[in-house]
Amino acid sequence: MIIRKHEDDGPIVIPGEACDEILTDTGATEPVYPAIYPQLETDFELWNPNSWKRGHPYDLYKRMREDAPVMWSKVRSPASRYWSVSRYEDIKTVELQPGIFSSQRGGINLAVPGRKHWKPEILIRAAMDNLISMDEPGHMQMRIQQKDFFVPAYVAKLREKVRAKVEALCDDLEAEGPVVDFVKVFSNELPLYTLCEMLGVDEADRPKIVYWMHYLEMASQFLSNPLTTFLGEPLFPLRFNKVVEEMFAYGARVMADRRAHPREDLLTVIAQSRLGGEALPQGYLDGSWLLIIFAGNDTTRNSLSGTVKLMTEWPQQRAIVLDDPTMIANMSEEALRMVSPVKHMRRTALEDTEINGQRIAKDEKVVMWYGAGNRDPEVFANPDVFDMTRENVSKHIAFGHGVHKCLGARVAQMQLQVAYEQLFARFPKIEFTGDIKYGPNALVHAISKLEVNLYGRGNARRAQVQVKAGQAAS
């Protein structure tokens, strides 16, 4: 990192080609201070993407909260082991102390490999050089520059475009139904459309974005199951390298164009970003627009699919929404708590500290498991029950907490509410058939397939609309 001093604002850290400030994993296997909680024996490996093909490990979460709330956790060598934090209040403690628990120092992912393993380096650097991996004061400066695309007034304008897209996607569902893969037809499509509208991606370029995202998601599968991926697509390694080249060439071209010919879009804001008065290098600009695509796409996509599944599993809750669509806002919040689309974020201790009695040494890693915190019975009564009427329905930490709470939370919630309004109006009996697949992903709750019957199990024609006339969620 290039560090420039500014007396008024303090030190500003700007990512650059000579990045030496990111603390890569050392391969530490033992904590500096003795672990006071046990390392729980389990066949579910939190670090292993393949384990997550089973979905969230709620039984393990429960054991962690009760017996090992700050647990020294295993990881595949040569990554550094880390402290797993599972209780709601402990997660908030970490989130609310960014001066002690750094996002930037060691990155937000479960591991930062040594630089010799950064292949392709341009992609690894983009994954670390972005807003979500910054500390203060630079982090807030960057958030402020992008805020106009996340304020209520902008989101209200965007809402009408999203509404039209949702209507078209409902038409697509009906055309392919009654039994259809909801992920493929609906939840894969909506967030990418919304994000492209915000960024200002030209219509002709949008198929490229979809194609690139497909290959980037396959990359995580390749790391977990190289043989399976290779058998399914033998040319994947060659195509992946080409995709990376194309994607970053596109970013460089678009950023240059937006600086020369500014538009009223988020890509222009990113292209013109400055930190401490300095223009940002291309690597950071790449990280910025790719973060928006990844973060915004994964969370909304998996929340959409997860909520449809929940509405099948909790028919009494579905009945509440069909009777009173104004409850969709509450339903969306409760669904986010139950689904927890982002599984974890990692922090690095900048000094010796303590969490729930456990001493943490400087440079040790702390991982917050949001799915565990969102089902903490100390905060949410009957946490495994879907209840949109609970008083603290919006208290979940699905979007994180504190200064790093997801900047796009308002946009995500808008999409979810608009989608559910029309889905339940068009298909009030839409039902999950039981056919579901989770992708091998330790970062996000990756629902890769969710088969539904649009008209209820065994029905082949459209059901009678049950939403009360004239009612709509706000």
Ordered structural domains, the chain, with CATH: 2-32+56-453 (1.10.630.10)
Per-residue confidence (pLDDT) for residue 230, from 0 to 100? 66
What's the rounded mean pLDDT across residues 467-472? 40
Residue 286 token pair: 């790449």
Burial, 119: exposed, middle or buried (Cβ in 10 Å; 0-12, 13-18, 19+)? exposed
- The DSSP output letter for 103 is S
- Is the separation of the CB atoms in 400 and 342 below 8 Å? yes
pLDDT, averaged across the chain = 88
pLDDT beyond 90 at 234: no
What's the rounded mean pLDDT across residues 68-83? 93
| Closest C-alpha among 107, 136, 101, 100 to residue 124 | 107
Per-residue confidence (pLDDT) for residue 237, from 0 to 100? 76
Instruction: Give 236 or 106, the one with higher predicted confidence.
Output: 106
Residue in this structure with the two tokens 């599944």, named with its chain if needed? 309
137 prior amide bond cis, ω within 30: yes
pTM here? 0.90
Query: Could you report the per-residue pLDDT of 316-374, keeping only the tens digit for each?
Result: 999 999 999 999 999 999 999 999 999 999 999 999 999 999 999 999 999 999 999 99
Per-residue confidence (pLDDT) for residue 129, from 0 to 100? 83
Range of lowest pLDDT (157-171, 256-270, 274-288): 274-288
Per-residue confidence (pLDDT) for residue 177, from 0 to 100? 87
